[in-house]
Amino acid sequence: MVGQSPDESVSSGVSGTRPDEGSRSPTMVLTGASRGIGHAIAKRFTSAGWRVVTVSRSPFPASCVFAPGWADHIQADLSDAASLPSVITALRSRLDGHLDGLVNNAGISPKDESGHRLGVLSTPTQTWHEVLTVNLLAAAALVQGLFAELAAARGAVVNVTSIAGSRVHPFAGSAYACSKAALSALTREASSELGPHGIRVNAVSPGEIDTAILSSGTDRLVEYVCRWVAWARLTTLPTPRSSSARRRRPT
């Protein structure tokens, strides 16, 4: 976890109501929601009674059985920086002046034509711009644009970073790694600045999760680590569903 919390106690569970808001159902804005980790988060919080407003560049899957005809979805390409103000306007129009949670989950990790990572020397300038806009600038813009609603609800922001942001990864590209390292820094900055307004800002840094963003060969990497490090919990690559449902164990 990166960030800090205000002084008041905070429940660590997922619940459908907040004690200081009566019958109002809590609301979350979630980016990168159409698949992978984001889709699992949407399912988890919707089942717990939250209203989840989703944003992704793809339509919400028509085949999704848990939410057929998903209405609270905004299809937008967050790599287009010029479109971010209109995305924020559309989001604010769907809120009632309160936002309990903002999850900045959207992320891209482009590969070359062979599916291999793009390093510092091989990443085109335009790709750097696209990755940094989606993975970093969009998160900052949403925090800025939805600040009033977050403050009114004394809400929380969660930025989804990555282990690639703190070490060289064999599959994650340089632009992706740099964007995730910067997102961790943004989390610290926002935590310090928004904490006095009652807004908690933290980050989660997933390891290898079985989603479409993974490069081919990740399963072999996990097998190698298991063999030489003997870390039993890595024997099975986690899925978005198992990761979103995981609970912190009491100490």
Tokens standing for residue 87:
């995305």
Q: Which of 130, 3, 105 is nearest to 53 (CA)?
A: 105
In angstroms, the Cα distances linking 128 to 86, 162, 179, 187 are 23, 17, 9, 21
176 is catalytic: yes
Confirm if 29 and 142 have CB atoms less than 8 A apart: yes
Rounded Cα gap, residues 148 and 107, in angstroms: 25
- Of 50, 60, 171, 176, the catalytic one is 176
Pair of tokens at residue 171: 């599959």
Among 104, 131, 134, smallest CA distance to 204 is for: 104
Give the separation between CA 42 and CA 68, rounded to whole angstroms: 13
Q: Coil, helix or strand for 45?
A: helix
Q: Are 39 and 212 in contact (CB under 8 A)?
A: no
Catalytically active residues, by annotation: 176
